[in-house]
Amino acid sequence: MSRHNRRRSTLRFRLTVGAAGVLAAAAAAASVTVASAGETRPRGDTAKADHAVFVQGDELDGNTIHVFKRGEGGRLTAAGRYATGGRGGDQVDAPTDSLASQGSLVYDQRSGRLLAVNAGSGTVTSFRVRGQRLSDRQVVRSGGDFPSSLAVSGGLAYVLNAGGAGSVQGFRITARGLEPLRGSHRSLGLDNKKVPLFSSSPGQVAFTPGGGQLVVTTKSANTIEVFPVGRDGRPARRAVINDSAGGVPFAVTFDRSGRMLVAEAKDSTVTTYKVRAHGTLAVLQKPLPNGQKTLCWLERAGDFFYGGNTGSSTVTGYRTDRHGALSLTDASGVATPPSAASQGVIDVAVTKDERFLYVQNATSGTVGGFRVGENGSLTKVTTVTGLPSFAESGMEGIVAV
């Protein structure tokens, strides 16, 4: 099948949760804005430790970052809320996840900056992180419509724009924030509206370990596209287009040895690949099903991986052996029992020390926190309530540091 036909083909798959209405795209914000972060913080000392969890509210009338202090036992307590200076967004017919992506909120440890997409404004916000406090807010244009995912590596940041033809745009991460990287914009050649249909938008942009390649998953085209990245930080002019081994590739992560794992929403599978230097992929392990519905998010915690199944409101655990073979931690595909407070599982985040997993529950408007056991088991340690639940839009994007 030609690239043109692959681009226009749409995989039909049904989610088991209700669809949201159509959101009209908001006008783009100013080209570059630097301002103090609008914020609300509870009184008292909330920054005794550096550990924090950041949650993106994705509110349509003004996107915010909800900040939580993380205690030694993993418990979360509110530590503030900061305006991004942009608006959230909601993809067409999104069932529970307004941005329909992984990586909409990322932390760059090298620079100590938190980056967030403002899908409704076509902008990206950068904050400096000091414990649980955010400062030095900067807002820049994303280089396209409906930014939905971010990736960082070695002083570079790339944003994935999901609307229209789709694109990636590069930035340098500097002491002042993000500076657009001239000559780094690359089109994906998609055929979306400015606010895309959730099932036809690209799912994630990610760097391979070391930053040598930039990877983009496209849902309806059913491809995994790889841009080799030059020494100057700019991608190759054209992506190497690889057909996905599983249906509807969504999220990307990597194991300790650099193997790439891709979560596939159609049949809730995970495929393991080797990414070759020139951008082609070799399947190392065929799609592994988990028995759940609509696996879209996947993150690593050491030799374990945890995936969010939004159609089942469950979390699946995986483990890898010394040969890199992937298997389920539990034959049922359920790592922790769902509850009334954990409906609409979407994005997940793992702490740097790999001790805790945090899960966004879009329908419930909650975040659940779990201790990761030595055998990969999950033990609930905290539940945060009162976050923006999915209706016209809802929270999406979570980072744990």
- CATH number reported for the structural domain that contains residue 197 in this entry: 2.130.10.10
Per-position DSSP letters for 317-356, written without gaps between them: EEEE-TT--EEESSTTS-SB---TTS-SEEEEEE-TTS-E
Q: Quote the pLDDT of residue 231.
A: 96
| Number of other CB atoms surrounding residue 323 within 10 Å | 7
**Can you tell me the distance from the alpha carbon of 281 to that of 276, in angstroms, rounded to the nearest whole number?**
6
CA within 13 Å, CB half, 216: 31
Domain hosting 118: range is 3-41+49-400
**Can you tell me the distance from the alpha carbon of 389 to that of 17, in angstroms, rounded to the nearest whole number?**
14
Q: Quote the pLDDT of residue 27.
A: 31
Per-residue pLDDT of the chain (401 residues; tens, 9 = 90+): 444 444 334 333 333 333 333 333 333 332 333 333 444 444 333 334 489 999 999 999 999 999 999 999 999 999 999 999 999 999 999 999 999 999 999 999 999 999 999 999 999 999 999 999 999 999 999 999 999 999 999 999 999 999 999 999 999 999 889 999 999 999 999 999 999 999 999 999 999 999 999 999 999 999 999 999 999 999 999 999 999 999 999 999 999 999 999 999 999 999 999 999 999 999 999 999 999 999 999 999 999 999 999 999 999 999 999 999 999 999 999 999 999 999 999 999 999 999 999 999 999 999 999 999 999 999 999 999 999 999 989 999 999 99
Element (H, E) at 80: strand 76-83
Token pair recorded at residue 27: 């006008």
At 218 the three-state DSSP class reads strand
Neighbour-count burial for 329-346, b at 16+ CB within 10 Å, e otherwise: bbeebbbbebeeebbbbb
Count: domains in the chain: 1
Token pair recorded at residue 346: 């979407």
**Can you tell me the distance from the alpha carbon of 69 to that of 146, in angstroms, rounded to the nearest whole number?**
30
Q: Quote the pLDDT of residue 50.
A: 81
> Tell me, what amino acid is at 33?
T
Token pair recorded at residue 22: 């159509």
**Can you tell me the distance from the alpha carbon of 360 to that of 377, in angstroms, rounded to the nearest whole number?**
18
**Can you tell me the distance from the alpha carbon of 317 to that of 378, in angstroms, rounded to the nearest whole number?**
9
Report CA torsion sign: 234, 238, 242, 247: positive
pTM above 0.85, yes or no: yes
**Can you tell me the distance from the alpha carbon of 394 to that of 33, in angstroms, rounded to the nearest whole number?**
25
**Can you tell me the distance from the alpha carbon of 352 to that of 300, in angstroms, rounded to the nearest whole number?**
10
